[in-house]
């Protein structure tokens, strides 16, 4: 369906714009009734529909930029070092990704790279692409809807925070056997996880979708 077709379909139903249906239980609700700083939940299933926050878009942009920079740091700095009986081994995030790189397990290495680094980064970039122009007061750029749909699809697959818990478990397993040094990349990664969590709590996707449509992106 072309853009024109979609516009034509949308035209007689412009008044439906303020109405949303809960993605979980299909119950109708109005987004505009949710006050700034409040939380709009579905009356029936209590799914959180909207959490409007002041300056949300500017804050999302700043957090996403910070996250992307931290990811670069997390990948390039030393991550962990162990030392025992004069033997020393340093591992970067890249080394952990390459752990599965021999023989049959190569696809798992690719999956690890995607889950830990590529998808979280792609998601941050997609969020920036969608929100940054609007935060600066412009219309959304071409492809903003596709970018934001990508960001939404990637959400469960960006597993940086799962990885950090995995690191904690691994450290305890190794801790008794050798001396451990935690490198700057670890802290960068931990900060990245924190920022992603804060960002996800700030970002109310139904509101962003509505804003995208209101600012003329179809």
Partner 1 sequence: MENAGSARQYLTARDVGLVNCTTCGRVNPAGVPLCVRCGATLASRDTKSLQKVWAWWVAGVIAFVPANVYPMLKTATLGSESESTLLGGILELIHHGSFGIAAIVFFASIVIPASKFLAIAYLALGIGKQSRITTHRRHQIYEVVEFVGRWSMIDVFVVAILTALVQLGSAASIHPGIAAVSFALSVAFTMLSAQSFDARLIWDADKDHAI
Q: Which is nearer to partner 1, 1 or 36 (CB)?
A: 1
210 binds partner 1 (CB under 8 A): yes
* Nearest-angstrom CA–CA distance, 130 and 67: 16
Cβ-count burial 1-25 (b if 16+ within 10 Å, e if not): eeeeeeeeeeeeeeeeeeebebeee
* 33, 39, 146, 201: which one binds partner 1 (CB under 8 A): 146
Name the DSSP letter for residue 44: T
Integer CA distances (angstroms), 122 to 64, 98, 151, 197, in order: 11, 20, 8, 16
Q: Which of these ranges, 63-71, 100-108, 134-142, 195-203, lies near partner 1 under the rule CB under 8 A?
A: 100-108
152 binds partner 1 (CB under 8 A): yes
* 56, 60, 75, 116: which one binds partner 1 (CB under 8 A): 116
CB 79 within 8 A of CB 185: yes
Report, in angstroms and rounded to the nearest whole number, the Rg of the chain calculated over CA atoms.
21
CB 112 within 8 A of CB 193: no
Q: Which of these ranges, 60-68, 69-77, 85-93, 195-203, lies near partner 1 under the rule CB under 8 A?
A: 85-93
Give the shortest CB-57-to-partner 1 separation in angstroms.
Answer: 17
Length of the chain: 218
Show contacts with partner 1 in window 39-78 (CB under 8 A): 43-45, 49
* 172, 179, 184, 201: which one binds partner 1 (CB under 8 A): 172
Q: Which of these ranges, 51-59, 117-125, 169-177, 190-198, lies near partner 1 under the rule CB under 8 A?
A: 169-177
Give the shortest CB-56-to-partner 1 separation in angstroms.
Answer: 17
200 binds partner 1 (CB under 8 A): no
Show contacts with partner 1 in window 11-40 (CB under 8 A): 12-13, 16-17, 19-28, 31
Joined together, the tokens standing for residue 108 give: 């798992």
């Amino acid at each position: 369906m072309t853009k024109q077709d979609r516009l034509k379909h949308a035209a007689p139903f412009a008044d439906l714009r303020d109405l949303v249906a809960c993605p979980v239980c299909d119950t109708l609700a109005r987004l505009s009734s949710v006050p700034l700083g409040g939380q709009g939940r579905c009356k029936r299933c209590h799914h959180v529909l909207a959490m409007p926050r002041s300056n949300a878009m500017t804050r999302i942009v700043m957090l996403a930029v910070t996250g992307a920079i931290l990811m670069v740091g997390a990948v390039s700095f030393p991550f962990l070092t162990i030392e025992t009986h004069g033997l020393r081994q340093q591992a970067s995030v890249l080394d952990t990704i390459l752990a599965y790189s021999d023989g049959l397990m190569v696809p798992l290495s690719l999956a690890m790279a995607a889950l830990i680094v590529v998808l979280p980064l792609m998601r941050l970039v997609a969020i920036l692409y969608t929100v940054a122009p609007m935060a600066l007061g412009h219309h959304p750029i071409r492809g903003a809807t596709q970018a934001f749909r990508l960001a939404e699809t990637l959400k469960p697959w960006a597993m940086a925070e799962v990885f950090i818990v995995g690191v904690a478990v691994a450290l305890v397993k190794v801790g008794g056997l050798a001396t451990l040094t935690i490198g700057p990349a670890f802290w960068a990664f931990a900060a990245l996880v924190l920022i992603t969590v804060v960002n996800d709590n700030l970002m109310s996707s139904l509101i962003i979708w509505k804003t995208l449509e209101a600012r003329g992106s179809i």
